[in-house]
Copies of this chain bind each other. A is one copy, B any other.
Amino acid sequence: MESQDIRKAGLKVTLPRLKVLEILEASEYRHMSAEEVYKELLVRNEDVGLATVYRVLTQFEQAQLVSRHHFEEGHSVFELNQGDHHDHIVCVDCGRVEEFFDETIEQRQDDIAHGLGFKVSSHSLYLYGSCTKENCEYREK
């Protein structure tokens, strides 16, 4: 299924790479740190080292299979790309991450960058706040 994507990126289709993709796909939160991916591999009894997780995630990022985000937490979190660009809102209490896309914001960003003489290559917009969901509580790492 996704092994085509790995091959297209010029990478060999290996077990660690398949497993990492699988875990990102199955993730309830859709946004995982390298450590979280590694822990999930341990739970599944897969023999993959943390260094490999970092290498694979970095390669996937370069191949644009995943996106790397820098939320306020201080470490990178990764998300499987599904073709669509979107921005993020992160609950500071429970860690929940929701996505959104707003054409108006996108448009304004381009106009502003252009006005300042920049050629934009990427951008990141993160909103932080409290989601008001019933099951909101601090999420264990």
Contacts and interface: CB of A to CB of B under 8 A. Distances in A.
Given A70-B70, A70-B74, A89-B113, A118 B131 contact: yes
Given A74-B70, A91-B118, A121-B92, A129 B113 contact: yes
Copies in the complex: 2
Interface string A63-81: 0000000111010100000
Contacts of A135: none
Interface in A71-103: 71-72, 74, 76, 89, 91-92, 98, 100, 102
A133 interface: yes
Contact of A119 (B70, B72, B124, B129): B129
Q: How large is the interface on A (under 10, 10 to 19, 20 to 34, 35 or more residues)?
A: 35 or more
A112 B89 contact: yes
Q: Could you tell me the dominant secondary structure of chain A's interface residues?
A: strand
Contacts of A120: 89, 127-129
Contacts of A91: 118
Contacts of A117: 131-133
B123 A100 contact: no
Contacts of A102: 108, 112
B129 A121 contact: yes
